Amino acid sequence: MARTVDQRIAALKARRSGEDRVNLMAQDSAALAKYIEKIWKQEAWETKATSKPNTRYVLGAMQEVDADYTRISIETALRVAKQLGNRIERFTLEFHLQGSVPLNVHIRGVSDVDLLTLISSQFLSYDPSGPRGTSGAYYPTTLTSLQQLKDLRAQEESELESAFPAATVDKRGSKAIKISGGSLPRSIDVVPSHWYDSADYQRSGAFHDRGVIILDKKNNATMTNYPFKHIKEVSDRDLVAMGSLKKAIRLIKNIKADADQDIMLTSFDLAAIMFHADMAALRTGHSYELAVLAETQRHLDDLYHRPDYAKLLLVPDGTRFIFDSPAKWSSLLTLSCEVDRLLEAVANENSIGLPANNHSERRQLIRSVHL
């Protein structure tokens, strides 16, 4: 049975307040007290469009998570980092966050946090064709990324259990060690990694151009990612859109979470999809928030009806195509249909005269709605 809009609003509120993961806060009295204090307070979006539940859902789905919740997420990751930094003896580590939390597109009050634990100076990889690589600025070694990261992971698994004896340390993940519970009010994904000096980084020296190599434990292999380029590219484009790109990303992440069918698109994929939307149209959302929904619906519909174009779109860091599997392409249709239905419901709630008859009319209608 399809979820009603009231059920979706309830699920949205539970995600944002942390009610869906309150068990993670149960042993942290300060976090639990903050949760109890906040759960009874209405957020600003809940006081708008009180007779228009679909409109209210859209408004809530676009908003940032409460800053206190985000602060606790970051502080918890830094607490784990401090313990590892003090306990790992073989490697000197540095720590950075990746993913939705540092990008500020997370949709849960109690959100998992990705913590990169990077070998700082003893070991890195580099592109030999870059300017520093060709000039002999690096010192080659017989050590391998795979073995260094396997050794680091083994040490981190052991030290996390020692540092947080009441917590659960889940070692089954291929790319991350998940630690949760005990005194930790958030679940932290610890990602053993080291730096990769790409040719772009060798030329620019810019932090966002530096790559990261992580361990894929299940496949006994390594992978190269550019998490800081992703964050920078999306954030820079969000500035052009005056904050509405990140609103659109949060919107479709919440729609995915509440959808009646599985949508096989990751948070990274969803950010990449909206990265290619019309920023001028999204920018209208700075004054008329429902314009974000209008452009999101237009963009997803356009992508699905132009497969030759859509299947050539790259993720923001340029490392791969967005729709790199049949399941992702099929999920675009599922997501687009979900947004179509939401647009229709919102347009009907805000139509003064006769309901709009097609998506173009509905988009036009809600682009100028004052709330």
Q: Break the chain into its structural domains and give their ranges.
A: 5-63+232-366, 71-225
- Does the pLDDT of residue 101 top 90, yes or no? yes
Query: Residue ranges of the alpha helices (H) in 165-306?
Result: 199-204, 227-240, 244-258, 267-275, 279-283, 290-305
Q: What's the pLDDT band for 21 if we cut at 50, 70, 90?
A: confident
**Under 8 Å between Cβ of 310 and 323:** yes
Q: Distance between the two ends of the chain, CA-based, in angstroms? A: 31
Give the CA distances from residue 321 to residues 223, 275, 324, 328, in Å, rounded to whole numbers and listed in that order.
Answer: 16, 13, 6, 11
- Sign for the CA dihedral angle at 257, 261, 266, 268 comes to negative
Q: What's the pLDDT band for 1 if we cut at 50, 70, 90?
A: low
pLDDT digits (tens, 9 = 90+) for 301-335: 999 999 999 999 999 999 999 999 999 999 999 99
Section 331-346 average pLDDT: 97
**Alpha-carbon span 213 to 112, nearest angstrom:** 21
Q: Which CATH number fits domain 71-225: 1.10.1760.20, 3.30.460.90, 3.40.50.150, 3.10.20.30?
A: 3.30.460.90
How many angstroms from the chain centroid is the CA of residue 315?
13
Residues 6+ apart with CB under 8 A from 226: 198, 208, 209, 210, 211, 212, 317, 318, 319
